[in-house]
Amino acid sequence: MQNGRLIVLTGPSGVGKGTLLQLLRQRHPELYISISATTRDPRPGEIDGRDYEFLSRDRFVASIENGELLEWAEFAGNYYGTPRASVERQIAQGKWVILEIELEGARQIRRHFPDALLIFVLPPSFEELENRLRGRNQDDVAAIERRLERAKKEIAASEEFDVRVVNDDLEKTVKQLEDVLFSNAVTSSS
């Protein structure tokens, strides 16, 4: 049986992490994409248990207090975190588990799982990131401004990660991620 592996994918909101993961999963169904828990309201089309585990604030806080989360962070007034049990079960079964999480969560994973592979996805430019966020039509202007301010701090922290990839072309970026995940040598891409 192969060894399980923990892989963390981080980057600013709007950089395309979800799309990249969707494409990776289509090509490599053996990868297990962890479902995060959150206290935010579902967006149109999101389904509880598929996109996120949508929890009440009280239930989320209880999960923190009971040690049920691998990592958690507060972002834009909501909690986000990774339920521990399903991730540990998948790794114990030899699966490769990918977490799509925020910077603070990635830092927590690094402290608790030093062998995890941490990947940071960068936008081609800050202007392009802003265009993507505004083009999604998912957030109000104030929320977009908060996301952009946070993105500056996240991008500045990208050097903390094992691998950095620029998502300027989906196909090229997915190929870079495949090379990183499935090659024996982990190298940094920029």
d(CA 151, CA 54): 24
Helix axes 17-27, 170-182, angle to 10 degrees: 60
Q: Per-residue pLDDT for the chain (190 aa), expressed as one digit of tens each?
A: 478 999 999 999 899 999 999 999 999 999 999 999 999 999 889 999 998 999 999 999 999 999 999 999 887 789 999 999 999 999 999 999 999 998 999 999 999 899 999 999 999 999 999 999 888 877 788 888 988 999 999 999 999 999 999 999 999 999 999 999 998 544 444 4
d(CA 149, CA 143): 10
Helix (H) or strand (E) holding 177: helix 170-182
Number of H helices, E strands in the chain: 7, 9
In the DSSP assignment, the letter for residue 90 is H
What is the gyration radius of the CA atoms in the chain, in angstroms?
Answer: 16
| All domains in the chain, ordered by first residue | 5-182 (3.40.50.300)
